[in-house]
Amino acid sequence: MPEDEDSMVVERPDDIEVPPPSEPYTLIEPFEFFNDSSGISKKCLIILNQSIRDMNLRRLWPNTRLHICADGGANQLYDYFEDEDERSKFVPDFITGDCDSVTNEIKQYYISKGTVVIPQYSQYSTDLTKSLMLTKIYFHSETLRSKLYEGIESDNGLSELGQSLEASGATPVYVYMLGGIGGRFDQTIHSINQLYKLNQSDPHLQIFFVSHSDMIFLIKKGLNYIQYERKSLFNTSRKAPICGLLPLSNTPITLNTHGLKYDVINWTSSMIGNVSSSNGICGTNGFIVNATDDIVMNASIDHY
Protein backbone atom coordinates (compact mmCIF):
# COMPACT_ATOMS: atom_id res chain seq x y z
CA MET A 1 0.00 0.00 0.00
CA PRO A 2 1.65 3.28 -1.05
CA GLU A 3 2.00 5.85 1.72
CA ASP A 4 0.77 9.38 1.28
CA GLU A 5 3.66 11.65 0.52
CA ASP A 6 2.90 13.84 3.52
CA SER A 7 2.61 10.87 5.92
CA MET A 8 4.74 11.27 9.07
CA VAL A 9 5.53 9.65 12.42
CA VAL A 10 6.60 12.02 15.23
CA GLU A 11 8.16 10.79 18.48
CA ARG A 12 6.90 12.52 21.66
CA PRO A 13 8.17 12.79 25.26
CA ASP A 14 6.42 10.48 27.76
CA ASP A 15 4.27 13.26 29.24
CA ILE A 16 2.62 15.97 27.17
CA GLU A 17 -0.50 17.99 27.75
CA VAL A 18 -3.09 17.58 25.02
CA PRO A 19 -6.24 19.68 25.50
CA PRO A 20 -9.52 18.57 23.91
CA PRO A 21 -9.97 19.57 20.24
CA SER A 22 -11.70 22.88 19.52
CA GLU A 23 -13.96 21.26 16.89
CA PRO A 24 -16.79 18.86 17.80
CA TYR A 25 -15.51 15.44 18.87
CA THR A 26 -16.56 12.09 20.36
CA LEU A 27 -15.58 11.87 24.02
CA ILE A 28 -14.32 8.44 25.12
CA GLU A 29 -13.56 7.70 28.78
CA PRO A 30 -12.38 4.08 28.88
CA PHE A 31 -10.73 4.30 32.27
CA GLU A 32 -13.69 5.58 34.30
CA PHE A 33 -13.97 1.94 35.35
CA PHE A 34 -10.91 2.47 37.52
CA ASN A 35 -12.15 5.75 38.94
CA ASP A 36 -13.75 4.98 42.29
CA SER A 37 -15.23 8.45 42.51
CA SER A 38 -17.13 8.39 39.21
CA GLY A 39 -20.85 7.66 39.22
CA ILE A 40 -22.06 4.08 38.82
CA SER A 41 -25.61 4.75 37.61
CA LYS A 42 -25.46 3.26 34.11
CA LYS A 43 -22.49 0.96 34.40
CA CYS A 44 -22.54 -2.78 33.96
CA LEU A 45 -19.98 -5.51 34.63
CA ILE A 46 -20.27 -8.72 32.61
CA ILE A 47 -18.12 -11.70 33.61
CA LEU A 48 -17.50 -14.18 30.78
CA ASN A 49 -16.21 -17.72 31.16
CA GLN A 50 -12.48 -17.06 31.22
CA SER A 51 -10.07 -16.86 34.14
CA ILE A 52 -10.30 -13.59 36.09
CA ARG A 53 -7.74 -14.79 38.62
CA ASP A 54 -5.26 -11.90 38.25
CA MET A 55 -7.85 -9.12 37.93
CA ASN A 56 -8.65 -6.81 40.81
CA LEU A 57 -12.35 -7.61 41.07
CA ARG A 58 -12.57 -6.19 44.57
CA ARG A 59 -11.68 -2.78 43.20
CA LEU A 60 -13.72 -2.93 40.00
CA TRP A 61 -17.00 -4.46 41.25
CA PRO A 62 -18.17 -1.47 43.37
CA ASN A 63 -17.67 0.86 40.38
CA THR A 64 -20.55 -0.72 38.46
CA ARG A 65 -24.25 -0.98 39.27
CA LEU A 66 -25.36 -4.08 37.37
CA HIS A 67 -23.45 -7.38 37.60
CA ILE A 68 -24.07 -10.21 35.15
CA CYS A 69 -22.38 -13.58 34.82
CA ALA A 70 -22.52 -15.08 31.33
CA ASP A 71 -22.99 -18.82 31.97
CA GLY A 72 -19.64 -20.21 33.16
CA GLY A 73 -18.66 -16.69 34.19
CA ALA A 74 -20.46 -17.61 37.43
CA ASN A 75 -17.93 -20.40 38.01
CA GLN A 76 -15.11 -17.91 37.49
CA LEU A 77 -16.66 -15.48 39.98
CA TYR A 78 -17.24 -18.23 42.56
CA ASP A 79 -13.70 -19.57 42.22
CA TYR A 80 -12.20 -16.09 42.45
CA PHE A 81 -12.85 -15.97 46.18
CA GLU A 82 -11.39 -18.40 48.66
CA ASP A 83 -13.12 -16.92 51.67
CA GLU A 84 -16.86 -17.64 51.88
CA ASP A 85 -17.56 -14.46 53.84
CA GLU A 86 -16.03 -12.40 51.06
CA ARG A 87 -17.60 -14.45 48.28
CA SER A 88 -21.06 -13.76 49.63
CA LYS A 89 -20.52 -10.02 49.20
CA PHE A 90 -20.04 -10.30 45.43
CA VAL A 91 -23.36 -11.69 44.25
CA PRO A 92 -24.32 -11.08 40.60
CA ASP A 93 -27.77 -9.67 39.79
CA PHE A 94 -28.18 -12.15 36.93
CA ILE A 95 -26.78 -15.31 35.40
CA THR A 96 -27.77 -15.80 31.76
CA GLY A 97 -26.63 -17.81 28.73
CA ASP A 98 -27.25 -21.37 27.58
CA CYS A 99 -26.15 -22.58 31.03
CA ASP A 100 -24.11 -25.51 29.74
CA SER A 101 -21.03 -24.39 31.68
CA VAL A 102 -22.20 -23.09 35.06
CA THR A 103 -22.23 -25.95 37.58
CA ASN A 104 -25.47 -26.74 39.32
CA GLU A 105 -23.90 -26.21 42.77
CA ILE A 106 -22.70 -22.73 41.87
CA LYS A 107 -26.00 -21.83 40.23
CA GLN A 108 -27.87 -22.92 43.40
CA TYR A 109 -25.41 -21.03 45.59
CA TYR A 110 -26.05 -17.75 43.81
CA ILE A 111 -29.82 -18.34 43.63
CA SER A 112 -29.76 -18.76 47.42
CA LYS A 113 -28.04 -15.38 47.65
CA GLY A 114 -30.63 -13.65 45.47
CA THR A 115 -29.29 -13.97 41.91
CA VAL A 116 -31.90 -14.28 39.16
CA VAL A 117 -31.06 -16.97 36.60
CA ILE A 118 -32.36 -16.39 33.06
CA PRO A 119 -31.53 -19.44 30.93
CA GLN A 120 -31.52 -18.77 27.17
CA TYR A 121 -31.02 -22.04 25.32
CA SER A 122 -31.01 -20.66 21.76
CA GLN A 123 -27.78 -21.52 19.92
CA TYR A 124 -28.27 -18.67 17.45
CA SER A 125 -26.57 -16.20 19.74
CA THR A 126 -23.69 -16.42 22.21
CA ASP A 127 -23.58 -15.98 25.99
CA LEU A 128 -21.90 -12.65 25.32
CA THR A 129 -24.70 -11.33 23.09
CA LYS A 130 -27.36 -12.66 25.49
CA SER A 131 -25.74 -10.76 28.36
CA LEU A 132 -25.67 -7.59 26.30
CA MET A 133 -29.35 -7.94 25.45
CA LEU A 134 -30.09 -8.29 29.18
CA THR A 135 -28.07 -5.12 29.85
CA LYS A 136 -29.99 -3.18 27.19
CA ILE A 137 -33.34 -4.24 28.66
CA TYR A 138 -32.27 -3.55 32.25
CA PHE A 139 -31.23 0.02 31.56
CA HIS A 140 -33.99 0.85 29.08
CA SER A 141 -36.84 1.53 31.53
CA GLU A 142 -38.22 0.52 34.93
CA THR A 143 -41.15 -1.20 33.19
CA LEU A 144 -38.95 -3.44 31.08
CA ARG A 145 -36.59 -4.07 33.96
CA SER A 146 -39.42 -5.44 36.09
CA LYS A 147 -40.19 -8.03 33.39
CA LEU A 148 -36.74 -9.57 33.96
CA TYR A 149 -37.91 -10.71 37.38
CA GLU A 150 -41.23 -12.10 36.14
CA GLY A 151 -39.84 -15.02 34.14
CA ILE A 152 -38.43 -14.88 30.63
CA GLU A 153 -39.16 -17.51 27.95
CA SER A 154 -36.14 -19.77 28.21
CA ASP A 155 -35.16 -20.25 24.58
CA ASN A 156 -34.86 -16.79 23.10
CA GLY A 157 -37.09 -14.63 25.32
CA LEU A 158 -34.53 -11.93 26.04
CA SER A 159 -33.91 -11.34 22.37
CA GLU A 160 -37.66 -11.17 21.66
CA LEU A 161 -38.16 -8.71 24.52
CA GLY A 162 -35.22 -6.64 23.32
CA GLN A 163 -36.14 -6.53 19.62
CA SER A 164 -38.74 -3.86 20.22
CA LEU A 165 -36.28 -1.45 21.87
CA GLU A 166 -35.22 1.60 19.97
CA ALA A 167 -31.59 2.52 20.50
CA SER A 168 -32.08 6.10 19.41
CA GLY A 169 -32.22 8.64 22.18
CA ALA A 170 -31.05 6.16 24.79
CA THR A 171 -28.54 7.55 27.28
CA PRO A 172 -25.07 6.01 27.30
CA VAL A 173 -24.54 2.74 29.16
CA TYR A 174 -20.98 1.72 30.02
CA VAL A 175 -20.43 -2.02 29.72
CA TYR A 176 -17.24 -3.61 31.02
CA MET A 177 -16.58 -7.17 29.93
CA LEU A 178 -14.15 -9.34 31.86
CA GLY A 179 -12.90 -12.12 29.62
CA GLY A 180 -13.79 -12.23 25.95
CA ILE A 181 -10.30 -11.29 24.77
CA GLY A 182 -7.19 -13.43 25.16
CA GLY A 183 -8.67 -16.93 25.32
CA ARG A 184 -9.73 -19.09 22.36
CA PHE A 185 -8.90 -17.00 19.31
CA ASP A 186 -12.27 -17.27 17.56
CA GLN A 187 -13.91 -16.04 20.78
CA THR A 188 -11.53 -13.06 20.88
CA ILE A 189 -12.43 -12.18 17.30
CA HIS A 190 -16.13 -12.72 17.98
CA SER A 191 -15.77 -10.10 20.75
CA ILE A 192 -14.17 -7.63 18.33
CA ASN A 193 -16.87 -8.42 15.76
CA GLN A 194 -19.50 -7.51 18.40
CA LEU A 195 -17.65 -4.29 19.21
CA TYR A 196 -18.04 -3.15 15.60
CA LYS A 197 -21.59 -4.41 15.15
CA LEU A 198 -22.96 -2.97 18.39
CA ASN A 199 -21.51 0.40 17.51
CA GLN A 200 -23.79 0.31 14.47
CA SER A 201 -26.92 -1.14 16.09
CA ASP A 202 -26.64 0.24 19.65
CA PRO A 203 -24.21 3.13 19.74
CA HIS A 204 -25.39 4.09 23.25
CA LEU A 205 -23.79 0.88 24.58
CA GLN A 206 -20.16 1.75 25.14
CA ILE A 207 -18.33 -1.55 25.35
CA PHE A 208 -14.97 -2.01 27.02
CA PHE A 209 -13.26 -5.39 27.10
CA VAL A 210 -10.95 -5.86 30.06
CA SER A 211 -8.28 -8.53 29.64
CA HIS A 212 -5.42 -9.52 31.92
CA SER A 213 -3.24 -6.92 30.24
CA ASP A 214 -5.45 -4.49 28.32
CA MET A 215 -8.51 -2.34 28.02
CA ILE A 216 -9.91 -2.75 24.49
CA PHE A 217 -12.47 -0.38 22.97
CA LEU A 218 -13.63 1.29 19.78
CA ILE A 219 -12.44 4.67 18.53
CA LYS A 220 -15.20 6.16 16.36
CA LYS A 221 -14.93 7.42 12.79
CA GLY A 222 -14.03 11.11 12.94
CA LEU A 223 -12.46 13.18 15.69
CA ASN A 224 -12.12 11.55 19.15
CA TYR A 225 -10.79 12.76 22.48
CA ILE A 226 -9.86 9.96 24.88
CA GLN A 227 -9.95 11.48 28.34
CA TYR A 228 -8.86 10.36 31.83
CA GLU A 229 -8.01 11.90 35.16
CA ARG A 230 -4.41 10.63 35.10
CA LYS A 231 -2.51 7.76 33.52
CA SER A 232 -1.63 6.18 36.87
CA LEU A 233 -5.34 5.44 37.28
CA PHE A 234 -5.01 2.52 34.86
CA ASN A 235 -1.29 1.88 34.56
CA THR A 236 1.24 2.37 37.33
CA SER A 237 4.16 0.58 35.71
CA ARG A 238 4.91 2.82 32.74
CA LYS A 239 4.97 6.56 32.16
CA ALA A 240 3.64 6.01 28.65
CA PRO A 241 1.37 2.93 28.87
CA ILE A 242 1.70 0.75 25.77
CA CYS A 243 -1.13 0.94 23.26
CA GLY A 244 -2.10 0.02 19.72
CA LEU A 245 -4.47 1.23 17.00
CA LEU A 246 -5.80 -1.85 15.28
CA PRO A 247 -7.57 -1.59 11.90
CA LEU A 248 -9.69 -4.72 12.24
CA SER A 249 -12.67 -3.62 10.16
CA ASN A 250 -12.70 -4.22 6.45
CA THR A 251 -11.10 -1.07 5.18
CA PRO A 252 -7.75 0.74 5.28
CA ILE A 253 -7.92 3.70 7.69
CA THR A 254 -6.08 7.01 7.59
CA LEU A 255 -5.03 8.15 11.06
CA ASN A 256 -3.98 11.41 12.69
CA THR A 257 -3.10 11.30 16.38
CA HIS A 258 -1.88 13.74 19.01
CA GLY A 259 -0.64 12.54 22.37
CA LEU A 260 0.91 9.16 21.56
CA LYS A 261 4.58 8.13 21.82
CA TYR A 262 4.66 7.76 18.06
CA ASP A 263 2.08 10.20 16.78
CA VAL A 264 1.02 9.51 13.21
CA ILE A 265 0.06 12.12 10.63
CA ASN A 266 -1.88 11.15 7.49
CA TRP A 267 -0.81 7.58 8.12
CA THR A 268 -2.65 4.78 6.38
CA SER A 269 -3.17 1.68 8.47
CA SER A 270 -4.42 -1.72 7.36
CA MET A 271 -4.05 -5.34 8.40
CA ILE A 272 -2.14 -6.13 5.21
CA GLY A 273 0.01 -3.00 5.60
CA ASN A 274 1.01 -0.79 8.54
CA VAL A 275 -0.36 -1.35 12.03
CA SER A 276 0.56 0.87 14.98
CA SER A 277 1.43 -1.60 17.76
CA SER A 278 3.79 -1.10 20.73
CA ASN A 279 2.90 2.59 20.71
CA GLY A 280 2.46 4.53 23.99
CA ILE A 281 0.08 6.97 25.65
CA CYS A 282 1.81 10.28 26.43
CA GLY A 283 -1.09 12.73 26.93
CA THR A 284 -1.29 13.44 30.66
CA ASN A 285 -5.11 13.76 30.70
CA GLY A 286 -6.10 12.75 27.23
CA PHE A 287 -5.12 12.30 23.59
CA ILE A 288 -6.67 12.82 20.17
CA VAL A 289 -7.35 10.26 17.44
CA ASN A 290 -8.83 11.30 14.11
CA ALA A 291 -9.73 8.26 12.00
CA THR A 292 -11.45 7.83 8.64
CA ASP A 293 -13.32 4.79 10.03
CA ASP A 294 -14.02 3.01 13.33
CA ILE A 295 -10.81 1.48 14.69
CA VAL A 296 -10.07 -0.75 17.67
CA MET A 297 -7.69 0.53 20.34
CA ASN A 298 -5.98 -1.27 23.19
CA ALA A 299 -4.26 0.31 26.17
CA SER A 300 -2.20 -1.75 28.59
CA ILE A 301 -3.50 -1.65 32.14
CA ASP A 302 -2.43 -3.16 35.40
CA HIS A 303 -4.84 -4.71 37.86
CA TYR A 304 -3.25 -3.18 40.94
Q: Which one, 21 or 203, has the nearer CB to a copy of itself? A: 203
- Asked if 76 is part of the footprint of a copy of itself (rule: CB under 8 A), the reply reads no
For a copy of itself, the binding residue among 279, 281, 289, 290 (CB under 8 A) is: 279
Q: Which one, 115 or 206, has the nearer CB to a copy of itself? A: 206
Alpha carbon distance 185, 190 (integer Å):
9
For a copy of itself, the binding residue among 82, 105, 166, 186 (CB under 8 A) is: 186
What minimum distance in Å lies between the beta carbon of 249 and a copy of itself? Answer: 5
Alpha carbon distance 200, 160 (integer Å):
19
Nearest to 17 by CA among 289, 290, 301, 283: 283
For a copy of itself, the binding residue among 8, 27, 111, 271 (CB under 8 A) is: 271
Terminal-residue alpha carbon distance, the chain: 41
- Asked if 182 is part of the footprint of a copy of itself (rule: CB under 8 A), the reply reads yes
Alpha carbon distance 61, 285 (integer Å):
24
What minimum distance in Å lies between the beta carbon of 125 and a copy of itself? Answer: 11
For a copy of itself, the binding residue among 17, 53, 189, 230 (CB under 8 A) is: 189
Contact 80, 52 (CB under 8 A): yes
- Asked if 178 is part of the footprint of a copy of itself (rule: CB under 8 A), the reply reads no
Q: For residue 282, which phi and psi values (nearest 5 degrees)?
A: -105, -35
Region 117-176 residues binding a copy of itself, contact defined as CB under 8 A:
126
What minimum distance in Å lies between the beta carbon of 187 and a copy of itself? Answer: 6
Contact 29, 63 (CB under 8 A): no
Q: Where are the alpha helices (DSSP H) in 141-184?
A: 142-147, 157-163
Of 75-83, 97-105, 151-159, 268-276, the window that binds a copy of itself (rule: CB under 8 A) is: 268-276
